[in-house]
């Protein structure tokens, strides 16, 4: 069976990262954007990252420009924005596509594991969130409207 740990992605600094480095940790995987009505959720995501800093848990941010062109910048600009505007310290990755023929393989897998509204595999907007357990299985999918704080109890059950 495939798990989240079987994938890799390019980090915001351009290095390739095997998600196996997070083996044994629960993960909250989020497609993000810097110019979105939900961009303020970076604060809540960072709070989860800090609240669970000593726990087997990590937030992973995947910028995406597929929704309203709300992530137009390049990697360095995205990293600078997140650091200066929200003091983001959780891992960020390079921009990915989450829908369509160029969908990142991680997102193709995530959306097959937990479908969205009416069984759709498509990601509907920025800040869709996937929670994986410590074995790398997807256990929940959350809509963009779900604030990170609302996921805290689900994370606590996994760690």
Catalytic residue among 4, 9, 26, 36: 36
Confidence of residue 116 (pLDDT cuts 50, 70, 90): confident
CATH assignment of the domain containing 151: 3.40.30.10
Percent of residues, the chain, with pLDDT higher than 70: 97
Token pair for 20? 């196996």
Q: Which residues contact 154 (CB under 8 A, 6 or more apart)?
A: 131, 139, 140
Q: How many domains would you assign to the chain?
A: 1
What was the pLDDT predicted at 143? 95
Q: Which residues of 122-134 are buried (b: 16+ CB within 10 A; e: fewer)?
A: ebebbbbbbbbbe
More confident residue, 122 or 104: 104
Q: Which residues contact 3 (CB under 8 A, 6 or more apart)?
A: 132, 135, 136, 137
Q: Which residues contact 32 (CB under 8 A, 6 or more apart)?
A: 39, 42, 61, 62, 63, 64, 71, 92, 126, 127
Instruction: Supply the mean pLDDT for the chain.
Output: 95
| C-alpha angle 105-68-102 in degrees, rounded to nearest 5 | 20
pLDDT tens-digit profile of 17-72?
999 999 999 999 999 999 999 999 999 999 999 999 999 999 999 999 999 999 99
What was the pLDDT predicted at 1? 55
Is 82 among the catalytic positions? no
- Is 117's pLDDT higher than 90? no
Give the span between the Cα atoms of 136 and 41, in whole angstroms.
24
Confidence of residue 152 (pLDDT cuts 50, 70, 90): very high
Domain span at residue 125? 4-158
């Amino acid at each position: 069976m495939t798990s989240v740990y079987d994938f890799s992605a390019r980090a915001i600094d351009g290095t390739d990262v095997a998600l196996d480095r997070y083996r044994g940790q629960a993960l909250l995987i989020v497609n993000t954007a810097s110019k979105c009505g939900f961009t303020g959720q970076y604060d809540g995501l960072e709070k989860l990252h800090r609240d669970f800093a000593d726990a087997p848990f990590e937030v992973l941010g995947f910028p995406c420009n597929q929704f309203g062109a709300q992530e137009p910048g390049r990697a360095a600009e995205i990293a600078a924005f997140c650091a200066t505007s929200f003091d983001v310290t959780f891992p960020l990755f390079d921009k990915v596509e989450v829908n369509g023929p160029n969908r990142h393989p991680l997102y193709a897998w995530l959306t097959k594991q937990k479908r969205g509204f009416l069984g759709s595999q498509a990601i509907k907007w920025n800040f869709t969130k996937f929670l994986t357990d410590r074995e790398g299985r997807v256990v929940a999918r959350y809509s963009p409207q779900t604030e990170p704080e609302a996921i805290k109890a689900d994370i606590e059950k996994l760690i």
